[in-house]
Structure 1
Amino acid sequence: MKLIELHIYGYGRLEDYVIESLDNFEVFYGENEAGKSTIMSFIHSILFGFPARQSSEIRYEPKNTPKYGGKIKAFFPDRGIAVIERVKGKAAGDVTVSLEDGTIGGEELLRDLLKRMDKSIFQGIYSFNVHGLQNIHGMKGEDLGRYLFSAGTIGTDKLFNTESYLLKEMEQRFKPGGRRPLLNEKLKELKEVQASLKNAEQQNAQYSQWVHEKEALEIKIASLESEIGLKEQKLLKLREYKRNEKLVIEAASLERKIEEINHTFFPEDGLSRLEKLNEQIKQTQARVLALKEKQQHYQDALENNKPDLELLAMDTEIDARIENLPLYDQLKQEKRLLESKLEEITEETSLLNDQLHADFDEERIQEINTSIFIKDEAEKLQLSQQRLSDKKLQLEEEFEEEKRTLAELEANADQVKRQLLDDDRRIQLMSELDLLENRERIQTEWQHVTDQIKEVKAREATDKKRMIKQQKKARQQSFLLGGIFLIVLIWGIVNGTWLLAGVGAAGLIFLVVGLLQSADGTEQDHSAESQVLSKLIEREKSLKEAMNSQPGGNLFSTKSLLAKDEEARLLETELNIKIGQQQQRFDKVVQQFEAWEADNASLKQKKGELLKQLGLSKNEGAIKLLDAYHLLEKQKAYFRERKRTRENLRAVTESLAEMEDSLKVLALRFLQNGNLPPMEAAGLLKRALREAMEQQAKYRELASKLSELGEELAGLEKEELVLRKEKMGLFVQAESDDEDEFRLKAKNAELLKGWKARQEDINHQLFASGIGDKDREEILTGISLEEQIEGNTLKLDACKRDLTKQFDSIADVKHKMKMIEEGGVYSELLHKYHQLQHEFAEDAKEWGRYAVARDLLSRTIGRYKDERMPKMLAKAESFLYVLTDGSYRKIIPQPFGSGFLIERKDHVLFEANELSQATAEQVYVSIRLALAAVHHDRYPFPIIIDDSFVNFDHNRTARIIQLLREMSKENQILIFTCHRHLLDHFSDKEIVHLGEKSKNAV
């Protein structure tokens, strides 16, 4: 689809606003509040309907006019040019679509033209603005990659938002290893109640036995109730059989009667058809006799009316001569007018020669080239002359403006340069900064070493106190153990138990060795701590000496001076860049002046050449080229008109002579008088021809009637034959030899019809009672219905008595169970357990819905990545290569989930959040443009862009605009902007200045 023209009747602040002749690449420029957003919304509204009143979108209803809406003229490749008009009506407006083949339709035709495209999908793929880039600025981490993936899928962040929403809802309900989500809490509570319930069940063994007994009784009761129901249904069925027994017997009797006489076929309504055929045959025979008499009467009249065929053969020529009589007088008048006109044209040609200061005749004027190409050249030269004059004024204004701007930038650069530090002073300050920063580092390290010394000393004091306590406790334990071992040794020696004596001696030896080792370990630990402390003290001393040797000075003031100098140097660099750019603009204006002078000289040369082609000299005064062309064209037309007038005069004279001669010949042949005046001869010929034609018409009428009678007579004879054949066909169908036998069979057929009607009525009654063919056989051939009803009644009563006994038994069991349940613990736990189970199942279903939705979304994303995304990414990679000037080459989908990896030219991969903001914006723009490009074959819609490149620098802006120009060869590109500096990249014919009435006016 290509938009050709927009006509806004009333939409927002725009009223009766027209934009015509839209090309494939258009830029809509206007200041704030000029109507850019209004026009974009207008395009969406005409194509897809006005926004609903409760919608968040603005409806842009006009305040000063009752007209709301407008129309769009667009070209569709498969349907041609269409005019889409939408005005105020129902919520979305009333739409009318007119095609160039004359087809007119409404919403359905518009949906067909738009290939069922949805408004949100259209805005997501083909219409985007700066808000997409602003979303990139506010995202961190993997969210940026998922957002870019969503933009590459459906053009908006809906996929990203949907995925985040589903994950958030799932985690609010259940999270593996979580505690606070609802399902985690309920699962924990359910396990606790289940454990308590099992404990309660172990204390109620008798209760479990009664539960089993109750379940067995419930099963037996259900079985008895089912059996009672079946027997009651059987009893009802038998009673229904008894009620319809007479109808079944009657139906069987009718079936036997029908079988007896239903072996022959008799045609439907055969008797009435026979009577009708007999009547038709009689009527046809009477009409045949009447037509034969009428045919003889017309034959006689035809012989008495024969016309003059020779005169009638000349009727065309006579009518032509008579009809030309008014032309005869007209030709005489025309001859006089042509002679007068010839004199006027001669005078006009003489006057035009005087105005052109030339002497053109018929031969010379035809040599002058006044083709449409010469006219177009004259118009172009005249317009070029006017354009060059306007261009000169514009260039003079731009020259002064660029010159003033360049002078201001140079003055600012000189002022900033005076604020810079000289190189020696800057080197001195940087050296001082290094020394001061070193001093600060040494002071920090000294403070840290001092803190470590204090910590080691504190730890030594603490360890010393702890060791004293441990040694005291160890001595006490050693004395105790030593006393025990000594007692064992003495006891063994006294009693002669040498084994006990050996154990006591060995214990004393081990105890002494342990005390000695413990003392050595303590001394070693103390020695290690002392070495660490001495090293720290030496480091503290060396740092203090280094700190005292550092020079004095203020670190903050030094940094401040260097920062100000650095800021001034950056400003100077920026101003130098701007001066370079401004110098280029200034040189560009000077070059345009030079180009203007060359164009002006070329224009003068072309003007002289064109005057020479028109047969005029350069010194013809101040006459304009286009005026001279029109005068020459007019002179040429006068000479052609004079030639045509002479030829017409000669033709009129010849026609008058030819008309007079032809009338004389006809009068001599049919009126025997060749000297009559033309008017009198024509009247007599006309009267004779009229009489002959009346006689011929009467003859033809009689012949036609006679032919019609013959055809009607033949038709009646055929009709009679057909009726007789149809009558014989009825006899054949009924297998009858004559009419009497046919009538007898008709009587039997009537009886059969009555029996079948009664049989159908009985079958309908039996069907309504639910009695089928098997039921009929059972009624006719089975046991007596009274006996069956009595037997089933007895069995049903026995089942009901058994059911009453079972109800008594289960009531007793339930009473015993209730006695235990009223004890409290088990019943309450059981009720709580079932309630928690139900609540957990309901919450799990809710979680499952979100889980299934997220799984379906993941599968859809995976299918898109495998089937459709490769084509889109190939296009996006080519766009990104152009936008980044070859710095980034590939866009690779993440192997799991959504998101992208971006490959730099040195084959290093980056996640989306690792890119700079500017590069992330370029990736976003590449994906959005590629999404529109790959959908173009199926949905060839225009791409609408609203200020999406304002954050790009000059080079990136130039590259994106060049890319859009390439895309405009296939897609129509519409760009809306309020930034004037972007207009330098476009030609005047590509820019629509909003505020004008039409593009052509701009």
Structure 2
Amino acid sequence: MKLIELHIYGYGKFEDYVIKSLDQFVVFYGENEAGKSTIMSFIHSILFGFPAKQSAEVRYEPKNNPKYGGKIKAFFPDRGVAVIERVKGKASGDVTVSIEDGTIGGEELLKDLLKRMDKGIFQSIFSFNVHGLQNIHALKGEDLGRYLFSAGTIGTDKLFHTEGFLLKEMEQRFKPSGRKPILNEKMRELKEVQAALKKAEQLNDQYSNWVSEKEEIEGTIDRIEKEIQQLDQAGGQLREYKRNERLVLEAAALERKIKEQGHHFFPEDGLKRFEKLDDQLKVAQARGLAIKEKQDHFENELEKYIPDFALLEMETEIEARTKNLSLYEQLKQEKRLLESKLEELTEEISLLNDQLHTNFNEENIQYSNTSIFIKERVENIQQTQQRLADKQQRLEAEFDEEKKVLAELEANAQRLKSQLLGEDKRKQLMMELDQLENRERIQAEWRYVNDQMEAVKSNKAAEKVKSKKEKSKNRQQTLLFGGISLIVLIWGIMNGIWLLAAVGIAGIIFLTVGQLRSIDHPESELSAEAQILSKLIERERDLKESLSRHSDGNFFSTKSLLEKDEESRQQHRELIVKIEQQHHRFEKVVQQFEEWEAEQANWKQKKTELLNQLGLSEKQGPIKLLDAYHLLEKQKQYFREKKRTEESLKTVTASIRDMEDGLKMLAHRFLQNGNLTPVEAAGALKRAVREALEQQTKHRDMISKLAELGEELASLQKEELVLREEQAELITNADAVDEDQFRLKAKNTEQVKGWSARLQDINYQLDASGIEVEDREKILTGISLDEQLGENAAKLEAYKRDLTQQFDSIADVKHKMKVIEEGGIYSELLHQYRQLQHEFAEDAKEWAKYAVAKDMLSKTIGRYKEDRMPRMLAKAENFLSVLTAGVYGKIIPQPSGSGFLIEREDHVLFEANELSQATAEQVYVSIRLALAAVHHDRYPFPIIIDDSFVNFDHLRTARIIQLLREMSSQNQILIFTCHRHLLDYFSDKEIVHLQDKSLKEV
């Protein structure tokens, strides 16, 4: 689908706003509040319906305009251009769809055009914005990989949030190593209660025995109740036998009577059938007499209606002659028209001969070749003539233009050459520039040397101050250490401790040597600084002498003159190159003129040859070849039409003569008058034939009626014979001699039927009461039913007494158990244990729902990885390689769970959270674009992007724009942005400026 035009009647801030001629790649630019979000929402609303009033989406209903909605013109590859209009109406609006083939429909037709795509899936796959990148900024760790996987699956973060929601709900209910989840707490409580319950059971052994006794008594009660139920059923059956005893006895008596009467065959409804046949036989005999009377009447009338058979034999020819009489006047009129047309064709032929300056006739016109091949050559000659004329005009214009450009270039080159500096002047300025550049360099070095001298002097003064401080400090330390060494020495000598005396002497010697070294070191340092300072003073003197030797001058003025001259020389060189190129183009135009003259000569020769083949000549003046061909073709058509007209005239004349001769002959034969006109003869012949046909019809009707009466009489005779045979067959089947014996057997048969019907009725009643054949035998031959009923009642009473005793026993046991249950902990623990089991089962069911949902989601993700994801990842890897300039090129699904590994060009794998923020954004964009690309075959919809690349630097932005340009060959790309710097990547015709303006069309 490609959007061509948007027309907003009223939507948000836009009223009667039109955006026309949308290209394959369009950028909507506008500052904040310009209406970018409104345009995006308008596209979604027209295609999929306005948002509901309770929806979180903005409806953008206009404040000051009653119109709400608009229309979109779009191209669909399989249906052509369609106009989709949606205005305010029901909740989602009233939509009308018009296709260029004339099809008009509503919501269903729109759904067919959109391949049953809904708004949510469209926005997930083909419409994305900066919020997707903002989610990447907010996510960390494994969440980032799962988010990218969700984007590659359904285009949004729904899968990511769904998976997280299911996992969170499951962990709130159960964790394998958790303590706070509901199921973990319930399991711990169950274990504690179960342990307490086992201890209570050990203290209630007697209770267990009573439980066993209770179960045994309950089993006995079930057995007795079953016995009582069986006895009740047997008593009911005996009472049913007693109720039907009279019917069983009557049935047995009827069976004996039927058996005594014996079995004699008699036809079913034999007497009724015999009497019916007798009645039919009497009716047939009466109808036979009536038919014979009719036969006599029709034979007498037949002689009156004998037609003229000779006239009837010529009926077909007479009808044909009279039928064509209606054409007689038409043929005469046609003859006059053909004669008139023949005169007109002769005049037209003469006129065309005058226009062609020829004298064509039916013979020599055939030598003129007007075949389709000649026509093609004529058209080619005509086209060549037009092309050569156009080429001549174009070459003349190009000749003038190239000549004018060449003159302008030569004039500009001459002007620039006059402005150039002479070689001597240029050399002099270059020498001055070198001297000025040296002076600037020497001055910079002189300032550097002065700075160094000041630094050395400053260091020297600082060193002197520092040296004085160090000398004062060293002097104090030396005096202190020397005093200590002298005291140690004196103390050792006075006390005879020579080791201390040696230490004191060593300390004095060490101080003396150190003092001597400190005196020598500053002198060496001072001498080094003096040498550096003297070198700097000598260099300063040399630099001053160099400055005195270089003359003063304006460095920048000289440099500007030389740069301006160099620029002019460069322009002059460029003009020289352009002049050479222009000379080449000018020569090319001249060469094309020569080629045109050769083509013109060739064309004239071909035209002369074609005129000869057509039989024409230009001696009388120039001929337009194509017009002459058409006139010649028309002339041939006139000759052919003239020939057809002459042949038609001969045919019409012969037809008129044949009609007149045929009618005269028929009138003479059948009307005895050959002087009638064709019209009079035709009318009289028609009347004669009509009268003969009427007589023939009456004659045939009478013959047909006589035949029908004969057939009907024969049929009645056959029917009478069949009826008599059927009566005889009934008597024979009943094994009777005559009709009287047949009637007697019929009476006996009816009596047996009555008994059988009563027996059948009794059997039906017994079957309905459940009395089978065996039951009847028991009633007729077994023990008395009264005795059986008494015995059954006695057994039933005994079992009921036993059941009462068992109920008393179980009530006593239950009372004892209840005493223990009411007075102990066991009942409370048991109730608590059952309650906890029930609660745990309910919570486990709730956990199982989320576990099953997560398992189904995992399986769905697995199938998606195997079936659909490889194709999407192949596209995404291609896009990622383009966006990262080949640094990252492979996207690998995680072996388990949902996430991706990204491979760098050195084959190092990274998880999504290990990538830089910018690279993660590129992976997201690659996956989203790949998802839209792989759905293009089934859903060729536009891709709508809202400011999704604002965080990219200029290199990444250039790559993504280039990638989108390549994708625009398949999908239409619509980009909405408020950043002006992005417009540098697009041409003016690709940019739609959204801003308040008086014009309503963009």
Tell me which interval the TM-score lies in, with the shorter structure as reference length: 0.5 to 0.7
Q: How does 1:521-670 map to 2 (within 5 A)?
A: 646=642, 650=646, 653-654=649-650, 656-670=652-666
Among 289, 300, 314, the alignment partner of 2:317 is: 314
Instruction: Summarize the Cα distance change of 1:54–1:778 in structure 2 as closer, same or farther, 3 Å threshold.
Output: farther
Once the two structures are TM-superposed, the CA of residue 212 in structure 1 deviates from its matched residue by 1.9
Q: Tell whether 2:815 aligns with 1:811.
A: yes
1:801 maps to amino acid: Q
Query: In structure 2, what is the equivalent of residue 582 of structure 1?
Result: none
Q: Tell whether 2:229 aligns with 1:233.
A: yes
Instruction: Summarize the Cα distance change of 1:61–1:333 in structure 2 as closer, same or farther, 3 Å threshold.
Output: farther
Query: In structure 1, what is the equivalent of residue 943 of structure 2?
Result: 945
RMSD of aligned alpha carbons: 7.4
Query: In structure 1, what is the equivalent of residue 215 of structure 2?
Result: 219
Partner SS state of residue 898, structure 2: coil
Instruction: Summarize the Cα distance change of 1:928–1:346 in structure 2 as closer, same or farther, 3 Å threshold.
Output: same
Question: More deviation in 837-846 or 166-175?
Answer: 837-846
Once the two structures are TM-superposed, the CA of residue 803 in structure 1 deviates from its matched residue by 0.9
**What do residues 537-582 of structure 1 show as CA deviations (whole Å, max 9, x unaligned)?**
xxxxxxxxxxxxxxxxxxxxxxxxxxxxxxxxxxxxxxxxxxxxxx
Q: Tell whether 2:674 aligns with 1:671.
A: no
Contact 1:126/1:942, CA 8 A, preserved across alignment? no
Q: How does 1:429-468 map to 2 (within 5 A)?
A: none
**Separation (CA, whole Å) in 1 of partners of 2:356 and 2:940:** 56
2:792 maps to amino acid: Q
Partner SS state of residue 179, structure 1: coil
**Separation (CA, whole Å) in 1 of partners of 2:676 and 2:277:** 71
2:208 maps to amino acid: H
Partner SS state of residue 671, structure 1: helix
**Separation (CA, whole Å) in 1 of partners of 2:166 and 2:125:** 26
Query: In structure 2, what is the equivalent of residue 129 of structure 1?
Result: 126
Partner SS state of residue 895, structure 2: coil
Instruction: Summarize the Cα distance change of 1:245–1:702 in structure 2 as closer, same or farther, 3 Å threshold.
Output: same
Once the two structures are TM-superposed, the CA of residue 774 in structure 1 deviates from its matched residue by 9.1
Query: In structure 2, what is the equivalent of residue 164 of structure 1?
Result: 164
Instruction: Summarize the Cα distance change of 1:318–1:71 in structure 2 as closer, same or farther, 3 Å threshold.
Output: farther
Contact 1:73/1:81, CA 8 A, preserved across alignment? yes
Once the two structures are TM-superposed, the CA of residue 160 in structure 1 deviates from its matched residue by 4.1
Once the two structures are TM-superposed, the CA of residue 660 in structure 1 deviates from its matched residue by 1.9
Query: In structure 2, what is the equivalent of residue 899 of structure 1?
Result: 899
Instruction: Summarize the Cα distance change of 1:926–1:812 in structure 2 as closer, same or farther, 3 Å threshold.
Output: same
Once the two structures are TM-superposed, the CA of residue 233 in structure 1 deviates from its matched residue by 3.1
Once the two structures are TM-superposed, the CA of residue 792 in structure 1 deviates from its matched residue by 0.9
Instruction: Summarize the Cα distance change of 1:786–1:175 in structure 2 as closer, same or farther, 3 Å threshold.
Output: same
Q: How does 1:698-847 map to 2 (within 5 A)?
A: 748=752, 751-766=755-770, 784-818=788-822, 820-821=823-824, 830-847=830-847
1:317 maps to amino acid: A
Contact 2:174/2:847, CA 8 A, preserved across alignment? yes
TM-score norm. by structure 2 comes to: 0.53
**Separation (CA, whole Å) in 2 of partners of 1:375 and 1:991:** 48
Contact 1:958/1:985, CA 8 A, preserved across alignment? no
Contact 1:127/1:944, CA 8 A, preserved across alignment? no
Instruction: Summarize the Cα distance change of 1:957–1:655 in structure 2 as closer, same or farther, 3 Å threshold.
Output: farther
Instruction: Summarize the Cα distance change of 1:82–1:131 in structure 2 as closer, same or farther, 3 Å threshold.
Output: closer
Instruction: Summarize the Cα distance change of 1:268–1:223 in structure 2 as closer, same or farther, 3 Å threshold.
Output: farther
Contact 1:880/1:926, CA 8 A, preserved across alignment? no
Contact 1:130/1:949, CA 8 A, preserved across alignment? no
Query: In structure 2, what is the equivalent of residue 445 of structure 1?
Result: none
Contact 1:125/1:932, CA 8 A, preserved across alignment? no
Once the two structures are TM-superposed, the CA of residue 811 in structure 1 deviates from its matched residue by 1.8
Q: Tell whether 2:281 aligns with 1:304.
A: no
Partner SS state of residue 662, structure 1: helix
Among 876, 894, 919, the alignment partner of 2:923 is: 919
Q: For this pair of structures, how many residues does the alignment match?
A: 733
**Separation (CA, whole Å) in 1 of partners of 2:315 and 2:20:** 65
**What do residues 183-237 of structure 1 show as CA deviations (whole Å, max 9, x unaligned)?**
23333444455556666667xx2xx135324423542453355345435534543
Q: How does 1:169-180 map to 2 (within 5 A)?
A: 169-180=169-180
Query: In structure 2, what is the equivalent of residue 245 of structure 1?
Result: 241
Contact 1:306/1:699, CA 8 A, preserved across alignment? no
**Separation (CA, whole Å) in 1 of partners of 2:947 and 2:747:** 99
1:131 maps to amino acid: F
2:178 maps to amino acid: G
Query: In structure 2, what is the equivalent of residue 327 of structure 1?
Result: 330
**What do residues 456-503 of structure 1 show as CA deviations (whole Å, max 9, x unaligned)?**
xxxxxxxxxxxxxxxxxxxxxxxxxxxxxxxxxxxxxxxxxxxxxxxx
Q: How does 1:138-149 map to 2 (within 5 A)?
A: 138-139=135-136, 140=139, 141-147=141-147, 149=149
Unaligned runs of 5+ in 1: 355-360, 389-423, 429-593, 618-627, 995-1000
Query: In structure 2, what is the equivalent of residue 187 of structure 1?
Result: 187
Query: In structure 2, what is the equivalent of residue 929 of structure 1?
Result: 933
**Separation (CA, whole Å) in 2 of partners of 1:795 and 1:905:** 95
Contact 1:945/1:976, CA 8 A, preserved across alignment? yes
Once the two structures are TM-superposed, the CA of residue 170 in structure 1 deviates from its matched residue by 0.8
**Separation (CA, whole Å) in 2 of partners of 1:835 and 1:373:** 103
Q: How does 1:83-482 map to 2 (within 5 A)?
A: 119-120=117-118, 124=121, 128-131=125-128, 134-135=131-132, 137-139=134-136, 140=139, 141-147=141-147, 149-150=149-150, 158-194=158-194, 205=203, 208-220=204-216, 222-223=218-219, 225-227=221-223, 229-234=225-230, 236-246=232-242, 248-249=244-245, 301=302, 304-305=306-307, 307=309, 308-314=311-317, 317-325=320-328, 327-328=330-331, 330-331=333-334, 334-335=337-338, 338=341, 369=375
Once the two structures are TM-superposed, the CA of residue 162 in structure 1 deviates from its matched residue by 3.4
TM-score norm. by structure 1 comes to: 0.53
Unaligned runs of 5+ in 2: 30-35, 358-364, 395-443, 449-584, 612-623, 950-955, 995-1000
**Separation (CA, whole Å) in 1 of partners of 2:892 and 2:10:** 44
2:934 maps to amino acid: A
Contact 1:668/1:674, CA 8 A, preserved across alignment? yes
Instruction: Summarize the Cα distance change of 1:816–1:82 in structure 2 as closer, same or farther, 3 Å threshold.
Output: same
**Separation (CA, whole Å) in 1 of partners of 2:725 and 2:60:** 81
1:844 maps to amino acid: A
Once the two structures are TM-superposed, the CA of residue 945 in structure 1 deviates from its matched residue by 3.5
Question: More deviation in 740-749 or 167-176?
Answer: 740-749
2:654 maps to amino acid: E
**Separation (CA, whole Å) in 2 of partners of 1:829 and 1:126:** 58
1:815 maps to amino acid: V
1:945 maps to amino acid: I
Contact 1:74/1:83, CA 8 A, preserved across alignment? no
Contact 1:664/1:674, CA 8 A, preserved across alignment? no
Query: In structure 1, what is the equivalent of residue 478 of structure 2?
Result: none
Once the two structures are TM-superposed, the CA of residue 855 in structure 1 deviates from its matched residue by 2.4
Once the two structures are TM-superposed, the CA of residue 81 in structure 1 deviates from its matched residue by 14
Once the two structures are TM-superposed, the CA of residue 244 in structure 1 deviates from its matched residue by 2.2
2:793 maps to amino acid: I
Contact 1:167/1:854, CA 8 A, preserved across alignment? yes
**Separation (CA, whole Å) in 2 of partners of 1:801 and 1:654:** 133
Instruction: Summarize the Cα distance change of 1:131–1:102 in structure 2 as closer, same or farther, 3 Å threshold.
Output: closer
Partner SS state of residue 324, structure 2: helix
**Separation (CA, whole Å) in 1 of partners of 2:18 and 2:307:** 76
